[in-house]
Amino acid sequence: MAAAEPPIQAVVRPLDLAQHQIEVTLRLPDSAMKKGAVLSMPAWTPGSYLVRDYARFVDRVEAKDGQGRALPVQKVDKQSWKLPAASGVSLSYRVYGNDLSVRTNHIDGAHAHLVGAATFLYFEKDLARPYEIRFEGFPSDWKIATAMPLADGAYAAKDYDTLVDSPVELGTFREHRFRALNADFELAITGAHNGDEARMAADAEKVVTEAGKIFGGFPFDRYVFLLTFSPKAGGGLEHKASTSLLCDPFIFDKPEGYWRLDSLMAHEFFHAWNVKRLHDPVLGSFDYTGENYTKQLWFHEGVTSYMEDVIVLRAGVVPWSSVAKSIASGWTRLSQTPGRFEQSLEESSYDAWIRGYKPTEFSANSSIDYYGKGQLVGLLMEGALREATGGKAGMPELFARLWKERGEKGVTDADIRKAFRDISGQDPEPFWDAFVRGRKELDGSQLERAFGLKLEAKAPWESLSADDQKDPEAVRRAKAWTGLTFGNGATAGTVIQNVIPGSPAESAGLANPMEVLSVNGWRVATGTEALARFADADPGGTVEVIAANRGRVFATRLTVAENPTRTWSLNADAAATDPQKAAFTAWTGQPFPAPEKRKGLKAP
């Protein structure tokens, strides 16, 4: 057995924290520099499927040898630098980080959140080489939180993938620790907020415990939540033994704030299995030079969004009513996305790099979100498995089976279908053909058969308040539909944001980014005003529209139609059977919800 390669020894120092700058020095092992070498910055970071070109944040790249003599450094592509053969080589560079997100560096006078891919160069042909990282010169009251183990003052990563997978938070965060099942957990919280950290930590403990139970324990000894609060911030990024979370500080005035954070924690934590360990073979080891294509993001992301619901329900930290609302609004969103007939889940996954992360105003017409639709498809898979097994097994069992059978060996679509077949005894192909590879409308009847839950649609005029429903004029106005959408906000004006394909607006020749100036002779200043003037007409009625296109004004006529959009809700069926109720409880860990009393049937 060959001895382990000597590590790259990295030292990270502040240059000017307020100006978002650090300096990184890499001591490159002599054995790797005998013929010279090329070192690169990644184009992207795993979990966030967009080429971000982290090299654009790196400059002042300088090298010297063991005698302190400057070495020539030659840039050989957008993200790579070539060094000559030498011994005792130190390579240093400045890193700029001023983007508070979970996949980029953020450095200021209060903290530094460092992402491996945005901070450290790698040997072009040697991703297996270990790293040792020291942090020197930071404010004396700053602490360090990371999943990397600390030994002799240095944080160790066994290879570049591990380094990139181990974000580091430096600052004055507050620490909460707990033990669950077979592992130690740390919650490092940065930034002020209006919540109760003891509750956040208690919820985190319940969440990780329910996730761990699915797999019979955790695949690590220690796990770190890096949670940062900052106004309007949001998002999470998964790692094997940690996660970076961003959260708005003002959400805890309502219980929904905790539910949102709990769901985010559950999502990122479930990724410790789904995508970080159970993954398409393409997603690790990674190619950092460019796009890594997979058709499985619907499963790795969308179904993780689904499992997040299962975990928070079983943990008892989010009520069923909230989860039911979120499922129903996801169903509504998809039903109002014309792109559902244009792009499959597999296609959406594959094109994440060029579509999901780069939306245009036309995206809703041409594509779907693999998170949103994937979440609903995960729910339908749950229904199919529960129905086939009399409620006994579902998606948690599917994941447990994949974990047992595949572990970290890689999970292909065929493996997922096999697990589905093994549990249900059913041919998975029709389901996949319809909803994963295909673009069929989702069928909610599965939920009724499996759990006694009904997806129910309401037209806009049926969603009016009880008083408005008695007002024929309000009902009539709610029926008017043009297929136009406008931007929100006072400054958005009447610039058309999107036109639904096949809608009256399309027939009238209207399109993004034309501006609607008047409707039936009335000057309109906002999208809301424009839609109100369209609603003056009955469905079938025609109105005159004056619009502008690239500075030229023109007139057209638009025939208002009856609104075909529907809003969905997910309700307990009063006629649900005992086996359906038992399946619901096996699935969610919650009692079957009491069917909602229909309003207005009886006087109180």
Contacts with Zn ion, residue ranges (CB under 5 A)? 301
Judged by CB, which is closer to Zn ion: 7, or 46? 46
Q: Are 400 and 277 in contact (CB under 8 A)?
A: no
Q: Which is nearer to Zn ion, 280 or 301 (CB)?
A: 301
Identify any residues that bridge with 78 across adjacent strands, giving them in sequence order: none
Residue nearest to Zn ion (CB): 301
Report the run of H or E that residue 345 belongs to, with start and end: helix 345-350
Backbone angles phi, psi at 572, to 5 degrees: -70, 135
Question: What is the pairing mode between strands 542-549 and 515-519?
Answer: antiparallel
Q: How far is the CB of 304 from Zn ion (least distance, A)?
A: 5
DSSP state of 492: -
Residue for token digits 């509504």?
A: 332
Residue 493 phi/psi, 5-degree rounding, is 60, -145
Tokens of 314: 């079983």
Q: Which is nearer to Zn ion, 210 or 301 (CB)?
A: 301
Measured between alpha carbons, how far is 122 from 120 in angstroms, rounded to an integer? 7
Pick between residue 243 and residue 526 the one whose CB is nearest to Zn ion.
243
Query: Which residues in 9-19 are b (16+ Cβ under 10 Å) and which e?
Result: bbbbebbebee
- Considering Cα of 136, then 186, then 105, then 5, what sign does the dihedral take? positive
**Residue 577: what residue type?**
T
Residue positions counted in the chain: 604
For residue 180, give the H/E element and its range. Answer: strand 174-180
Whole-angstrom CA distances from 212 to 180, 183, 217, 392, 400 are: 9, 10, 5, 19, 10
Which amino acid appears at position 270 of this protein?
Answer: F
Residue 106 Cβ vs Zn ion, minimum distance, rounded to whole Å: 20
Is residue 506 within 8 A of residue 499, CB to CB? The reply is yes
d(CA 481, CA 23): 57
Query: CA neighbours within 13 Å on the CB side: how many for 419?
Result: 21
Task: Tell me the one-letter amino acid at 42.
Answer: P
Cα–Cα distance between 222 and 179 in angstroms, integer? 9
Joined together, the tokens standing for residue 307 give 């499992």
- Comparing CA positions, the residue from 77, 48, 273 lying closest to residue 164 is 48
CB 223 within 8 A of CB 272: yes
**Pick 301 or 346: Cβ nearer Zn ion:** 301
- In the complex, the smallest distance separating the C-beta of residue 259 from Zn ion, rounded to whole angstroms, is 17
